[in-house]
Amino acid sequence: MTDLREIYPRFMLAPLAGYTDKAFRQIAHECGAEASVTEMVSAEGLARGSDKTELLLDRFPGENNLIVQLFAPSADPIERCIPALMKHNPAAIDINCGCPVPKVVKTGAGSALMRTPERMTEMVRTLKRETGLPVSVKFRLGWDSSSICFLDFADAAYDAGASMLTLHARTRAAGYSGTADRQAFKVLSDHMRGKDVLLFASGDIFTPEDAEDIIRNYGMDGVMFARGAIGNPFIFRMSSEFFSTGSYKLPSIEDKVDTAIRHLHLAAGYYGENTACREMRKHLMAYIKGIKGANKVKAEISQALTESECVMALQKLLEEK
């Protein structure tokens, strides 16, 4: 279990399509995240040698604990993508069984796998056999409220050899709305007690208090921060601090502005100024949410075309104080 704990530490950055690229993973790492999951990567795209897909597997310098999340409808594309996947030397592989987006689900991938668990188990077995790496599965409560099946799904993944399971405590039908069912974490951890598998929670984990509650009172080994980490990578350090001392320091406005600028700078270095300014808007807006004067700065960021225009807009928040 020791090695697995190094791959899957207590607080992880969740896979977030359109967000968890190498720039954001690097920022999360600098803010204390010891492991991050890539956004969902198409096994078919990887198998076909798509450059755009391969780009999602790029790591930041020094990233040595990269968990790659794959999505596929069956084991066939998974098996075919393995040579391309292994070139990136991942520490572990995660299988997406939770994506509710119709475009993905209608192919039989993502949360559609909750209705075809035998395909998920075949994927776990294939990845274990062909890569020898730890394999994890991220899934939901079930397809909808009348077909809750997460315990059977967890059993099937475990029997196939999964080393880690992440439950997003919502159904496919709920998407990202409504409240995650925290009680389900307890049901899962009681059910899996004594089994050699790590259990992670996902869903409405926004504060160090949420994370601590789930780990201490719901029997989970760790949590994945998702929307709670967007614009707030400080959540990793705050949660570790809270877990060990019972208190934590909130980021100052300077911390937020400095980190937003650093994130922008990394993205510009990786993708070029123009792409970074466009792609970073959603991140920058999230960093400054709630700060006095943010609305005016948001309007400027949405028009900015250069790194220095973005930086100048962000720095105005320090003058507003």
Ligand X SMILES: Cc1cc2nc3c(=O)[nH]c(=O)nc-3n(C[C@H](O)[C@H](O)[C@H](O)COP(=O)(O)O)c2cc1C
Please give the positions annotated as active site.
99
Quote the least distance from Cβ 148 to ligand X, whole Å.
17
Look at residue 144 and give its three-state secondary structure. Answer: coil
* From 13-21, 127-135, 192-200, 237-245, span contacting ligand X (CB under 6 A): 13-21
Which residues does 187 contact at the CB level (< 8 Å), separation at least 6?
151
Quote the least distance from Cβ 141 to ligand X, whole Å.
12
* From 60-68, 72-80, 118-126, 223-231, span contacting ligand X (CB under 6 A): 223-231
Which residues does 311 contact at the CB level (< 8 Å), separation at least 6?
261, 264
203 binds ligand X per the rule CB under 6 A:
yes
| Among the listed residues 25, 138, 172, 237, the single contact to ligand X using CB under 6 A | 138
205 binds ligand X per the rule CB under 6 A:
yes
Which residue, 15 or 251, is less far from ligand X as judged by CB? 15
Q: Distance between CA atoms of 258 and 147, rounded to whole angstroms?
A: 46
Which residue, 211 or 276, is less far from ligand X as judged by CB? 211
SS3 content of the chain, % helix, strand, coil (to 5): 50, 15, 35
157 binds ligand X per the rule CB under 6 A:
no
281 binds ligand X per the rule CB under 6 A:
no
Buried b (16+ CB within 10 A) or exposed e, 170-208: bbbbbeeeeebbbebbebbbeebeeeebbbbbbbbbebb
69 binds ligand X per the rule CB under 6 A:
yes
100 binds ligand X per the rule CB under 6 A:
no
What are the C-alpha distances in Å from 136 to residues 4, 237, 264? 11, 25, 31
Which residues would be at the binding site for ligand X (CB under 6 A)?
14-18, 39-40, 69, 96, 98-99, 138, 168, 176, 180, 202-205, 226-228
